[in-house]
Amino acid sequence: MSAINREKALEVLTTLISLRSVNPMGRGGEFTAPIERDVANYIETLFRPHAVGITRQTINGQHENLLISVPGKAGSPTLLESHMDTVPADDWNDRAFTPRVCGDTVVGRGACDDKGSLASMILAVLDVVEAGCVPPAPILLLAAGDEEYAQLGIKHFRAQNVPVGRAVFGEPTNLAPIVQHKGTLRWDVTVAGKSAHTARPELGVSAILGMMRVIEEITCHQADLQARHTNPLITGPTLTVTMIHGGRTRNAMPDECTIALDFRLLPGMNLVDERTTLIRRLDRLGLPIRHGELQLATPPLDTPVSAPFCLSALEVCRLHAGQGIELAGVPYGTDASWISDRAPAIVLGPGSIASAHAIDEEIDINEVVTCAAIYRDIVLTACD
């Protein structure tokens, strides 16, 4: 087996970084092709010489998936999934897509989120097919679209009802297998006011002052949730106001104020019930509040730590990355939660989440190589 080495890892990763696949994050615009198209084309060229299935899955005009299928001996396939899209790099666009290699460090948008994992999965599967190995179960390599905004890629794959026996989702975990993560709800909350000239503010109602009361109540609700819901692997539930907009001019009372709310929930918390509870609590303020449609609703990941697949993957990780590796939980969300109700799923990949979405995003190429070997051994290990 020879596909897994530093030189090949650098070639694949730097090429992936150089191919812009920036998610528009819900912003409109004209798209002549899906934003993942160049990345998907490159991956296809790597696998076209081999006896594998190659399928494009059209999601919509902006996004697509690429699915590589490798035959196996028997049973339901092992799914390896990483996403092709990245967040924007508006604040360092001058250098974000020109990958830089500084010793062992590769710098560029997507280096760890998620093209490091994607490169490792590509190398792992190439290593299997180039060696002529027949894995114990078929392998599905899914290069997914639109993970960063609405997770449409994995939802599209899920809708195909493809059997999956076990699944590994690539995200920056520093090579630790993740079995639990939070769920996510995102929506806008708007408070209405009444416009009036600021010379006569008593004739109007400030939507911004009303929103201040809403934010205070949200903060109190977070404290109550954290007191009631704890988890040994993950920090408590959080409610974060990520954006705010209010008012129309400098000399008029603001008649509307809107916040974007990000609600992170623990395994065991019901998304619908928790949102309803918060809405009812805010209604008791007696303010004219309007709640927008959900922009994102992702369930938590809660794979049993005793699942044979988790224990088997843990042993592989320890073999390659050290005995200190443990099954763990993380506060962020991933595509894994859309498969975990059908098959045991873990999140595992090279790099640190601390670098994801950051200026000068980076990854250690040695972790990319090590993770490729981990992925390879996972798909070659028989596990019920």
pLDDT (tens digit, 9 = 90+) per residue, 336-377?
999 999 999 999 999 999 999 999 999 999 999 999 999 999
- Tell me 359's DSSP state: T
Residue 1 has pLDDT above 60, yes or no: no
- Tell me 337's DSSP state: G
Q: What is the DSSP string of 36-72?
A: THHHHHHHHHHHTTSS-EEEEEE-SSS-EEEEEEE--
Mean pLDDT of the chain: 96
pLDDT (tens digit, 9 = 90+) per residue, 53-98?
999 999 999 999 999 999 999 999 999 999 999 999 999 999 999 9
pLDDT (tens digit, 9 = 90+) per residue, 153-166?
999 999 999 999 99
Residue 304 has pLDDT above 90, yes or no: yes
Cα 246 from Cα 224, distance rounded (Å): 28
Mean pLDDT of the 121-143 span: 97
Calculate the CA 32 to chain-centre distance. 25
Cα 202 from Cα 186, distance rounded (Å): 34
Task: Give backbone dihedrals phi and psi of 273, rounded to 5 degrees, phi first.
Answer: -65, -40
Cα 239 from Cα 264, distance rounded (Å): 6
Mean pLDDT of the 287-314 span: 96
- Quickly state the pLDDT bin for 3 (edges 50, 70, 90): confident
pLDDT (tens digit, 9 = 90+) per residue, 254-289?
999 999 999 999 999 999 999 999 999 999 999 999
- Quickly state the pLDDT bin for 383 (edges 50, 70, 90): low
- Which letter, b or e, does each residue of 288-322 get, where b requires 16 or more Cβ atoms within 10 Å of its Cβ? ebeeeeebbbbbbbbbebebebbebbbebbbebbe
Residue type, 343: A
Quote the pTM value. 0.92
Domains within the chain, CATH numbers bracketed: 6-181+300-379 (3.40.630.10), 183-298 (3.30.70.360)
Residue 384 has pLDDT above 70, yes or no: no
Name residue, tokens 């899906």.
34
Task: Give backbone dihedrals phi and psi of 76, rounded to 5 degrees, phi first.
Answer: -75, 150
